[in-house]
Amino acid sequence: LVPFYKKICEVTGINNLIKADVAPVNSQVDLTRKVVIEFDASHGPNLPWSFKPMGASLSAHPGQLVQMDYEVVNTLNVAVTGQAIPSYAPRNAAQYFKKLECFCFQQQTLAAGETKRFPVVFAVDPDLPKDVGTITLSYTFFTVAGREKAL
């Protein structure tokens, strides 16, 4: 009965084992255009950390899942906690920038001299207006008051 079952599945498309090597297509990705995403990083005056994106920019289709890593180095001789605040240009791009994972979602503590890499995983909403071809994502890290610890 196995050959008979396979033939029925092939014809009806139910539990199709024959076409298992065909990768699913994400219908949410707009393959007709690309958006350039530029990355920027800075820190507040009371937080002399080294903070930078691991790439200046990338190009992605709206709806495509993308990751960019940021490197943060605590250059102080004490542990410090900071909070990253994002901003976007053009300003209205924020509503179309969908982050799934981001170090900005919570405070980050780095030990004295510690280096960490933090991912940002996001997708640009396919409803982004067609006249927007570039989005700049900028993060500023600020000290969380009262969270410094001497080592």
The model's confidence at residue 28, banded by pLDDT at 50, 70 and 90, is: confident
Kindly state the average pLDDT of the residues 5-17. 57
Can you tell me whether residue 63 is helix, strand or coil? coil
| Dist. CA 121–CA 73, nearest whole Å | 20
Q: Which residue's entry shows tokens 């933090």?
A: 118
| Dist. CA 19–CA 13, nearest whole Å | 9
Kind plus residue range of the DSSP H or E element containing 68 = strand 66-73
Which pLDDT does position 91 carry in this prediction?
A: 92
What percent of the chain shows pLDDT beyond 90?
73
pLDDT digits (tens, 9 = 90+) for 82-129: 999 999 999 999 999 999 999 999 999 999 999 999 999 999 999 999
Which pLDDT does position 84 carry in this prediction?
A: 96
119 preceded by a cis bond (ω within 30 of 0) = no
pTM for this structure? 0.77
User: Kindly report the CA angle at 40 between 94 and 81, in degrees rounded to 5?
Assistant: 90
